[in-house]
Chains A and B, each alone.
Chain A
């Protein structure tokens, strides 16, 4: 078994220390909504590659403020750009909203495992995103669209709070226009004039048609939203090992040392954040965890 230190090459001196932050300048700051923004980072020390797999995350450090785990939301093909879409929920992410082009952000990563997208060729793929959960799923969509012929039917269901909270709106409109991607969006509430769906994301489920024998689902969002989504997927005939979830806990070190993100016997940062539902079913929605 390979130890974490070996995995990062720390003991062999091959790669940088997993706990060492590397500064990256912000190449682009894009405000997505009133509380959500996207940072595009470029390597400051000339390395031209930042490979990651869809579903992985980085620890982003804002100098003097703190460090937060943020999923990578860019295109895995574009190794030179590190893209993060961030919702300002806490003190660090709220302060990050004041960052601008040229400011520096510290990066450690990428950490964690990834969506099993390479193993699902020829399969139908259902992606269900709730809120900022669309960000860790976007690299999956990029990957699928770059290799579209390798996958079967692909559906994206996205639920948000209000129309004003929808992120990647232009991109979602483009995806909607494609014949090889089914996209449906709903919001929890809306003002008069909104012509889209209103209701929680699970209301979209009865409207879709899945082949339960050939469909794999990937879900990312608040746990309670994933819980109700799982119920709907069960009604559709999907088995636990056909469903993958991205879990979230308070990740600190990113490599399973500190224990902040422990969920039962697993560490979300190291063993996850992506889990087949069959592996964590016994831990999911347990009040004590």
Chain B
């Protein structure tokens, strides 16, 4: 695998992050690959990882009795999968499945939390970046709930 720090530096999620912090984050990183159709995690699993997607496509699914699995979002290059590792109770809320062969950088959540406790600057940077994703997804979810293309929108 190419130097993790270099890959992280190029990833949109870490755009503008200084090399000192990138180095720390890179020490928690490893490359992972998933086959098309492979489940990455399931609802209720312990959340110990964030995945920075480098290629491929991942579907976030929710299972509804009577309706079966519903895809609520897809993620691809530049997106980040999973923030539950950052907030108690550190459990996955949804299912994540690769729908195309997918390559990602996995960040070890437990290790990152420890390092963030030791280094508040790192902790603040991580929180800022993951909070932005949470806000963006919340806004997108609100739009989905509005059913803007529906009859009564």
Contact = CB atoms under 8 A, between A and B. Distances in A.
Interface in A183-233: 186, 188-192, 194-200, 202-203, 206-207, 221-222, 224-225, 228
B147 A190 contact: no
Given A192-B61, A206-B78, A207-B78, A222 B71 contact: no
A200 B73 CA distance: 9
Contact of A130 (B12, B61, B99, B148): B148
B143 A192 contact: no
A161 interface: yes
Given A192-B70, A194-B71, A199-B140, A89 B148 contact: no
Given A198-B59, A198-B72, A199-B140, A222 B78 contact: no
B64 to A, nearest CB: 11
Contact of B74 (A35, A89, A160, A198): A198
B66 to A, nearest CB: 13
B71 to A, nearest CB: 4
Nearest to B144: A188
Contact of A225 (B59, B73, B139, B148): B148
Interface residues of B, number: 27
Question: In terms of DSSP, what is the predominant structure of the interface of chain B?
Answer: mixed
Contacts of B148: 130-131, 188, 200, 221-222, 224-225
Nearest to A207: B78
Given A191-B70, A197-B74, A222-B149, A202 B140 contact: yes
B68 interface: yes
Contacts of B108: none
A198 B73 contact: yes
A206 B11 CA distance: 13
A190 B153 contact: no
B111 to A, nearest CB: 28
A191 B69 contact: yes
Given A191-B69, A192-B69, A200 B144 contact: yes
A254 interface: no
Contacts of B71: 189-192, 194, 198
Contacts of A161: 147, 149-150
A93 to B, nearest CB: 10
A222 B144 CA distance: 13
A165 interface: yes
Nearest to B140: A200
A126 interface: no
B153 A222 contact: yes
Q: Which 8 A-B pairs have the closest CB atoms?
A: A131-B149, A192-B69, A222-B148, A161-B149, A190-B71, A200-B143, A198-B74, A198-B71
